[in-house]
Structure 1
Amino acid sequence: MDPDPTPIGSFEWSQIGHLLHFLWYYFAVVIAFGFMFLTAHAVIPSLLSTREISPTLNLARFSLYVSAFGLFIGAILLFAYMISLTSVVESFHHRYWF
């Protein structure tokens, strides 16, 4: 039989709070990535094809793609760091889900 979870101390609460902060940072970065990629890949070409915006704004697509790529890399790094922060759960909960 598996042991019961141990009480959570102040260090564990601090680490859990740190993990939750990075979860919210990850959420914000993914939303920003989606907004930039959608704007560069769908909105600007659609507005250009209907001539609603100036053709010179097509140059902004490249910078939006580069920014979206940077946000995507940032999201990957944040996710990897978040995964490493989940090791705090092992210190008080000794059962695994897998």
Structure 2
Amino acid sequence: MDLKDQLKNLFPDHTPEETPQEAPKNNIWVQEDPIICKYEKRKGKPITILEGYTGTDKDFKKLAKELKTKLSVGGSFKDDKIIIQGDYRDKIMAMLVEKGFKVKRVGG
């Protein structure tokens, strides 16, 4: 006997209400200040750098992982910066604006 059966035995007249469960839209803290999105070349290879996030490192790492999987590229999180391999400024900025962030493009 599981818990639901035991509760039905205790309270035969009660009909449980099913509450629809909503998935969290954005579980990352959205800040007022813009995130800076800039382009650099390191050792001749293009990279996109995101910096200026004032939330927790855990949220920023989660955002980095989400960006890397959506773009199918490599990258890392170092010194409160997200480093994405390649020039994906436009795509990254569109994704961040969709999530509710303010983004500022720096350089080029």
Give the TM bin, normalised by the shorter chain: under 0.3
Higher relative contact order (CA 8 A, sep 6+): 1
Higher share in helix: 1
Name the TM-score, length of structure 2 as normaliser. Answer: 0.25
Higher share in strand: 2
